[in-house]
Structure 1
Amino acid sequence: MRSDPDLAEDAAQGSEAAYAELVRRHQARVRGMARRLTGSASDGDDIAQITFLKAWQKIGTYTGGTFSAWICTICWREYLQARRKQKIEIEFDETAEIVPFMRTQSDEVGDQMDLTNALQKLTEAQRVCVTLCVAAGLSHREAADATGWPLGTVKSHVTRGVDALRKQLASSQVA
């Protein structure tokens, strides 16, 4: 089995097969990371696709280190770009009528928190660090390099984020 750096070198020389193997090896990690960052499967898949297109265009700039960290850094940057482009518009309809509703037992079952909801309740910095270090498997140093944040900041966000997730998931009885 060929190493990621060897495949990246061949891909930089134009080998689509080598790049396809890199995509196959890393697509689940990148998609999972993007989905967790965005909180949406479709938005995450869009960012993952852009990440792999950008990586193909820039494969010649890969200079070693773990390929996983390199591709996750690209994913992080694409997520930031997508977020910058979003314009949140909140419209308030003053003529809207507030209608109370009755909760049913099925609503209460639907209220059980899953991991995605728990991640969305973290601060953005905690969600990013937990996603990079726990979900994507980057080291604290690699996550710090990807985000541009100090190493100690990344470590504290991971620690606080994981602790908060444990509390949220335990309180909602989700294992």
Structure 2
Amino acid sequence: MAANRPDLWIVAAGGNDMRTDPDLAADAARGSESAYAELVRRHQARVRGMARRLTGTASDGDDIAQATFLTAWQKIGTYVGGTFAAWICTICYREFLQVRRRQKMEIAFDETAEIIPFGRTQADTANDKMDLSRALEKLPEAQRICVTLCVAAGLSHREAAEATGWPLGTIKSHVNRGVAALRKHLAATEVA
């Protein structure tokens, strides 16, 4: 009864939609474009970041993100619960695979999420970024995908397993091995 409680009505009218993702998805499945727009607003940064990391370029990643949200709108009626983030990231991963199959291209990653301590120069930062990119390129493809999904996109191991269709144990193993290999490679480049 939001109408009887003006404080709740004002929050909803102010653009701060307090509905849950499943509620918004249900409204979108009934044709509410505004509900779907809110879902896009909530999840676009995650999807764009994930797609950009999977493709290695901003433009290709943005194309995949756009295709992801178009496909999600067309299939919103198939969302049956669970985390909406996992559902939309699964669509993003599948869009990536379709593009990759069509282009038959090698995966290249541009890791932009990094922590830069104080006192570092821009040249140091650029070198670190190149080292991280090289380290990612050295990972086997499955490890790169799992590290991107779980570390960069922030999915849980279970959500990444749902997105890829791979067993949960395989995801955990690829993430652990991939992160360990990245640490080892980056530690070796610091020593040199």
More helix per residue: 1 or 2?
2
Structure 1 match to 2:86? 69
> Which of 32, 38, 41 is equivalent to 2:49?
32
| Residue 20 (structure 1) aligned with residue 37 (structure 2) | yes
Taking the aligned partners of 1:140 and 1:72, their CA distance within structure 2 comes to 13
Taking the aligned partners of 1:10 and 1:116, their CA distance within structure 2 comes to 41
Q: Give the 3 Å change call, closer, same or farther, for CA 15–33 of structure 1 in structure 2.
A: same
> Which of 160, 163, 180 is equivalent to 1:143?
160
Aligned length: 154
Q: Which runs of 5+ in 1 are unaligned?
A: 89-107
Cα pair 1:37 1:128 within 8 Å, conserved: yes
Structure 1 position 172, deviation (Å): 4.1
Of stretches 65-74 and 116-125 in structure 1, the one that deviates more from structure 2 is 116-125
Q: Which residues in structure 2 correspond to 1:1-175 (within 5 Å)?
A: 1-87=18-104, 112-114=127-129, 115-173=132-190
Q: Which runs of 5+ in 2 are unaligned?
A: 1-17, 106-122
Instruction: Give TM-score, length-normalised by structure 1.
Output: 0.81
Tell me the amino acid that sits aligned with residue 142 of structure 1: E
Taking the aligned partners of 1:116 and 1:45, their CA distance within structure 2 comes to 20
Structure 1 counterpart SS, 2:127: coil
User: What is the alpha-carbon root mean square deviation over aligned residues?
Assistant: 2.0
Structure 1 position 111, deviation (Å): 7.4
Structure 1 position 168, deviation (Å): 3.0
Of stretches 7-16 and 112-121 in structure 1, the one that deviates more from structure 2 is 112-121
Tell me the amino acid that sits aligned with residue 13 of structure 1: R
Taking the aligned partners of 2:136 and 2:34, their CA distance within structure 1 comes to 36
Structure 1 position 109, deviation (Å): 6.8
Taking the aligned partners of 2:102 and 2:144, their CA distance within structure 1 comes to 20
Instruction: Give TM-score, length-normalised by structure 2.
Output: 0.74
Identical counterparts, % of pairs: 78
Cα pair 1:47 1:78 within 8 Å, conserved: yes
Structure 1 position 131, deviation (Å): 1.2
Q: Give the 3 Å change call, closer, same or farther, for CA 156–16 of structure 1 in structure 2.
A: same
